[in-house]
Amino acid sequence: MNGELTVPAATKDTLPTVFGYIGIGLAFGIVGKAAGLSPLLVTLMSIITYAGSAQFVVVSLLAAHSPILSIIFSVFLVNSRMILMSTTLAPYFKHESMIKNILVGSLLTDESFALGMNKLNYSDNHLNFPWFNTANLLAYMTWILSSLVGAVLGNFISNPEKFGLDFALVAMFIGLLYLQLISDRSIKFNLQLIVVGFVLVAIYFGLIFIPSSLLILLVTLVACTFGVVMKHAFF
Amino acid sequence: MPSFNFVLLTIVGTGLVTWISRITPFVLLKKFELSKGVVEFLSFVPIAIMSALWFENLFIQHIGQLPSIEWGNFLASVPTVIAAIISKNLLVIVIVGVISLGVIRFVFGL
């Protein structure tokens, strides 16, 4: 990764994450087909809902014949972390037009967010529309295509877990976290490690009494507060 | 599986709430400025959210009890972290991760 904020640079920066989207997209298509969704509905969900892991939640709730409002509310909870990511990202696009802001926001994902945050460490703390939109669009196309292919392949493969494809997402989170840790110089490395450790403990004990759909958001909020307090007290 | 129309309505509904979560901050922050305190708070979001998403995958929830360990993901995380430290390359990290879990499932049947 370098400081260039161009379309070719964005393509190069996004390429590694594309393989993650392919893995999870294929897995989603296969799982959706196995649960009884047609390839058309699988693809429509990837186009319209476009919510990565939350789409797996939707499929399992649909299969369990849950009421529509409870499905929508679950997805809102799982994706409420998007509000936090958009709030973090939006100030870097203040100089762009409203329509470009909405476009960047509409296709934002965990991975494009993390990529953008990583990019800031190389680009002198700047982001722009061409770079981010390219990263977003590549992810979006890859996700749609691979879930369609997965749904079609679903006739031949019954359990995608066997191949470890579902780990692509987790591996991506690990990679993006590590790259952020070593390149973000705005927060001291030791403080970042302490916050990561705090998150581990909070997730472990939070799982006892907080539904996992809500836990990610709550732990993130508490961990950020913890980080600010530690920064002022010790760093 | 429910009817085509029910699924379609669900897709549109879930798409709408996700879209609103994604764009509202962009629309609001075009007009308003964040305070220094909020910006400092948000500077922790990337590492906090990425680690939360990772760690949540390492456990299996049992409400009212301590979670149990998802051994497949847990063990596969070890070579993945090592790959991150050595390669610092996202593509290598993802490939090592997927192959690790595939091998672990094949060998241990987890």
Confidence check: pLDDT of A162 > 70: no
Phi, psi of B14 (to 5 degrees): -65, -35
CB B53 within 8 Å of CB A117:
no
Residue A133 lies in a domain: yes
Confidence check: pLDDT of B53 > 90: no
Q: Are A56 and A109 found together in one domain?
A: yes
pLDDT in tens, B23-45: 999 999 988 888 888 888 888 98
Q: Are A195 and A109 found together in one domain?
A: no
Q: Are A144 and A161 found together in one domain?
A: yes
Q: Are A27 and A139 found together in one domain?
A: yes
Mean pLDDT of chain A: 89
Nearest-Cα distance to chain A for B13, in Å, is 6
A52/A21 Cα distance (integer angstroms): 9
Residues in B touching A83 (Cβ below 8 Å): 21, 24-25
Q: Which of B13, B54, B55 sits opposite A68 (nearest CB)?
A: B13
Confidence check: pLDDT of B107 > 80: yes
Q: Are A64 and A145 found together in one domain?
A: yes
Q: Are A211 and A178 found together in one domain?
A: no
CB B83 within 8 Å of CB B93:
yes
B46/B48 Cα distance (integer angstroms): 6
Q: Are A50 and A149 found together in one domain?
A: yes
Mean pLDDT for A184-205 is 92
Q: Which of B18, B24, B61 sits opposite A49 (nearest CB)?
A: B18
Q: Which of A69-78, B52-61, B77-86 has the lowest mean pLDDT?
A: A69-78
Confidence check: pLDDT of B87 > 80: yes
Q: Which of B9, B10, B41, B63 to mutate to test the interface with A (most CBs of A within 10 A)?
A: B10
A141/A21 Cα distance (integer angstroms): 10
Confidence check: pLDDT of A161 > 70: no
Residue A165 lies in a domain: yes
What band does B102 get if pLDDT is binned at 50, 70 and 90?
confident
Confidence check: pLDDT of A38 > 80: yes
- Residue B50's closest CA among A66, A133, A223, A60? A223
Residue A193 lies in a domain: yes
Q: Are A155 and A195 found together in one domain?
A: no
Residues in B touching A173 (Cβ below 8 Å): 50-51, 53-54, 57
Domains in chain A: how many in total?
2
What band does B110 get if pLDDT is binned at 50, 70 and 90?
low
Confidence check: pLDDT of A159 > 70: no
Q: Are A92 and A57 found together in one domain?
A: yes
Residue A175 lies in a domain: yes
B80/B57 Cα distance (integer angstroms): 14
Mean pLDDT for B86-110 is 85
Q: Which of B56, B66, B105 sits opposite A162 (nearest CB)?
A: B105
Q: Which of A15-24, A106-115, A168-177 has the highest mean pLDDT?
A: A106-115
Q: Are A180 and A206 found together in one domain?
A: no
Q: Do A62 and B10 touch (CB under 8 A)?
A: yes
Q: pLDDT higher for B3 or A176?
A: B3
Q: pLDDT higher for A52 or A223?
A: A223
Residue A126 lies in a domain: yes
Residue A2 lies in a domain: no
Residues in A touching B51 (Cβ below 8 Å): 173, 177, 195-196, 199-200, 223
Residue A99, CA atoms < 13 Å, CB-side half-sphere: 0
Which tokens in the block code for residue A45? 């969900």
Q: Are A162 and A204 found together in one domain?
A: no
Q: Which long-range contacts (CB under 8 A, 24 or more apart) does A95-104 make?
A: A96/A128, A96/A129, A98/B27, A98/B30, A100/A129, A100/A133, A101/B23, A101/B26, A101/B27, A101/B30, A102/B23, A102/B26, A102/B27, A103/A129, A103/A133, A103/A136, A104/A129, A104/A132, A104/A133, A104/A136, A104/B26
Confidence check: pLDDT of A171 > 90: no
| Axis crossing angle, helix A129-153 with helix A110-120, rounded to the nearest 10 | 150
Q: Which of A80-89, A180-189, B17-26 has the lowest mean pLDDT?
A: A180-189
Number of Cβ within 10 Å of residue A153's Cβ equals 16
What band does B84 get if pLDDT is binned at 50, 70 and 90?
very high
pLDDT in tens, A87-132: 999 999 999 999 999 999 999 998 899 999 999 989 999 999 999 9
Q: Do A166 and B93 touch (CB under 8 A)?
A: no
What band does A37 get if pLDDT is binned at 50, 70 and 90?
very high
Residue A214 lies in a domain: yes
Instruction: Give the DSSP H or E segment for B10.
Output: helix B4-31
| Predicted pLDDT at A170 | 85
Q: Which residues contact A215 (CB under 8 A, 6 or more apart)?
A: A203, A206, A207, B52, B56
What band does A201 get if pLDDT is binned at 50, 70 and 90?
very high
| Predicted pLDDT at A77 | 82
Range of the domain at A163: 7-185
Residue A222 lies in a domain: yes
Triad A93, A96, A100: Cα angle to 5°? 90
Triad A38, A25, A133: Cα angle to 5°? 115
CB A90 within 8 Å of CB B23:
no
Q: Are A125 and A215 found together in one domain?
A: no
